[in-house]
Every structure is written in C-alpha cells, then in structure tokens.
Structure 1
Amino acid sequence: MRKGEKTKQQIIIMATDVFNQKGYFGTSLTDIMNATGLKKGGIYNHFENKEELAIASFDYAIEVMTQTYANAIKGKKSAIDQLVALFSIYENVIEDPPLKGGCPILNTAVESDDTNPVLREKAQEAMSKWLRLLQVTIRKGIKRNEIRPTVNIESLSSFITSTIEGAVMLSKLYNTNIYMKHAINNLTEHIDGLRVR
C-alpha cells in the first residue's frame, strides 16, 4: 500500500469512530481534524467532501462488523450456537461495544432516514446483509434438523434484529447493559424453544 493510500485508510479508520458516535450531521470538519491530526487540506486531499468520507467510514464500519460476526460464529457447530454467539456480540454494548458509538447500521438508519438518501441506501444494504446472515444460519439449522421446519425464517430474522436493535437503543439511552442482557436472555430462550427435540 502506497503512502497516500495508507493515509487515506487511516483517515477512514479514525473518522469511523467520530461518525458512529456523533452522526453525519453532528460531526464537523474540526472533529475529523482533531481525530486524525490532519488539517483541512490533508483530509480533502483524499476526499472530495464530508459525505464521501462518511460513506467510506460507514463501509469500513460494516467491514469491522462483518469480521466481528465471522469471529463470533467461528468454531460454533450448531445453528443455534451460532445465533446465540451473534446475539452475544452486543452483550456489553455500553462498556465494550463492537464499535464505539454502538451499531453503525442503527445509528445511520435513524439519522439518514429522510435526510441523506445515499447513507440511507448504505444502511439498507448493510441491514440486508445482516438479515441474510441470520436467514442462512436459520435455514442451515432447519436443514440439519436442529431447528423446527415450521419456523418462518424471515419472521424470525426480523424478530431477532428488532429485539437486538431495540435493546441497543435502550441500553445506550439509559447507559446500562441491563436491557441488552434481558434481550439476549429472552432471545436465547426463544431460540432454544425452536430446537428439534
């Protein structure tokens, strides 16, 4: 990687935490300059504008989350164990989130809902990827006779996602992991109840 590409990647990595904590509109150029240690020209030498940097940072955040998902399910044999491992990524969402600021999909979806169609589309793509991961895992569980075949795959993946994202929001709002712990416990019980006995 050449020096310019390395600098660009470093800017993306450092800006990711800022965007994920402050949001697109809440992040100023000064915030990015403070995080990177670069002046305005040093940043705009690599990015046309703040939106281009925000999109690159979101893409990087999703790469980090995708790797986190892969690491969580690595070595887990059953689909149920894999699903529980995916829930557990957010177990300590306050003190030790996968990314500073919480879930980048949730943060971006809420902020860009009606204001930034490009970021909104990025959030939709990332959420679709997450839902597909859940659906593939559930489908494998059904195929291997671990999960009951009567389970509605789309409905279950939507339920899991809504529960986790809601728990992230509540935990962040009240600055306590208790809501996430409740969510994980209930999801784990629910998934366990879908086992083929």
Structure 2
Amino acid sequence: MARNPELTKQLIIDKALPIFNTKGYAAASISDITAATGITKGAIYGNFKNKDEVATAAFELGVEIVTSEIRKRVKKVHTAPEKLKAIVEFYQEYIKKPPIPGGCPVLNSSIEADDSLPFLRSRVIRSIALLKDSIMKMVNRGILEGQIKRDVDAEEFANFFYSTIEGVISLSRIEGDSRSFFFVKRFVNRQIDGIST
C-alpha cells in the first residue's frame, strides 16, 4: 500500500525536528532522519530538495509548537500584565520540560545559523521579529485599555522582555538548573508591575 505523500512529508518533519533541535544542523544527518522515520533517503529527497529544506521545515514546526503553547497560556488571562507574566511562567516550565526535545528552536538555531547558515538565519530573524512584535502589540493594547502606563515605549519593552527571557533560558541550560531563571523572573515581574497602572 502506497504512503500518502502529505503524511510522509509530515512524518519526516516531525521526526527531523528533535534531531535538528538536539544535535544541531551540522551534526544532524539525513541518515539520522532515515533511522528515525524508517523512510529511505530517496523518499526523503522525493519530498525535500535537500537537507536545508528539511531543516527549514523542522525549524518552522518547532516555532509553531512553541508559539502555539504561548498562545494557549496568554488566552487564559485577560490583562496585558497578566499575559506578559503568563509568558514568563511558560518559559520557566519550559526550562525543565520543553515541548520539544533540545529546548528553544529559535535560540538553538540562532546560535548555529549566526554566520554559517544564511537560509536558516533569515527564518530565525523573522521568527524573532514576530515574537517581539507580538509582545509589542500586547503592551500597546494594554496601554489602550488602561492596564499599562501611557508613557511606556512598547518597542523598548518588547526588546528588553524578549532578550532577557531568551538570555536567561540560555544561561539556565548552561548552568543545568533554573536558579538564574528564578531571579530573572522576579526582576521581570517587577518590571511588569512597574509599567502596570
């Protein structure tokens, strides 16, 4: 019985994601993906032009999984300050139990793609911009609804917030515990309280 081409493609992406996210682009091989999927190299190349295309699709799936989880958390609360704190809570849990093996795909890919993988670097830059833009919109909406002080610079806050969270995730992974995140969480939450009305 022939495989459904769309299901085959999705299987490849699903299995490639944790491989790329834990090993990195350079160390991950098509052989790793064939072993994980039980699909031949020919079938993989029948669905993707090359390893770059598989890595791109896997990265995009990883970003979608993370952003979908964030959206779920944010929808459970009502005010902009609560939404910002919900994001912080999500990432605190993320350190111990990430939804994707290997941790944050944006952080992982940004380190590796910095100079050597322009095809992936452009995707990482776009994903970071979208995440920061979402935070900025959250802050602007909070200003409009009277939940956040009117003099807050939404773009400045979004850059501070995103950079601080990504930085402490990296630090926590290197240190192997969430102690640094605990302190940064307290600091970031005080900043959120400070801009709240």
TM-score normalised over the length of structure 2: 0.94
Unaligned runs of 5+ in 2: none
1:69 CA displacement: 1.7
1:164 CA displacement: 0.6
1:34 CA displacement: 2.4
1:71 CA displacement: 0.4
Query: Which range moved further: 179-188 or 13-22?
Result: 179-188
Alpha-carbon separation, structure 2, partners of 1:66 and 1:161 = 13
Corresponding letter in the other structure for 2:36:
A
Alpha-carbon separation, structure 1, partners of 2:193 and 2:74 = 17
Matched position secondary structure for 1:90: helix
Alpha-carbon distance change, 183 to 99 in structure 1, aligned in 2, over 3 angstroms:
farther
1:36 CA displacement: 1.8
1:133 CA displacement: 0.6
**Mapping of residues 94-133 of structure 1, within 5 Å:** 94-133=95-134
Instruction: Check if 1:180 corresponds to 2:190.
Output: no
1:173 CA displacement: 0.8
For the 8 Å contact 1:72–1:86, the answer to whether it is kept is yes
Bigger helix share: 2
Corresponding letter in the other structure for 2:48:
F
Unaligned runs of 5+ in 1: none
TM-score normalised over the length of structure 1: 0.94
Alpha-carbon separation, structure 1, partners of 2:91 and 2:10 = 26
**Mapping of residues 88-167 of structure 1, within 5 Å:** 88-167=89-168
1:35 CA displacement: 2.2
Identity of aligned residues (%): 35
Number of residues of Structure 1 aligned to a counterpart in Structure 2 = 195
Corresponding letter in the other structure for 2:58:
S
**Mapping of residues 37-52 of structure 1, within 5 Å:** 37-52=38-53
**Other-structure match for 1:62:** 63
Alpha-carbon separation, structure 2, partners of 1:98 and 1:160 = 21
Alpha-carbon separation, structure 1, partners of 2:43 and 2:145 = 53
Alpha-carbon separation, structure 2, partners of 1:79 and 1:93 = 21
**Other-structure match for 1:22:** 23
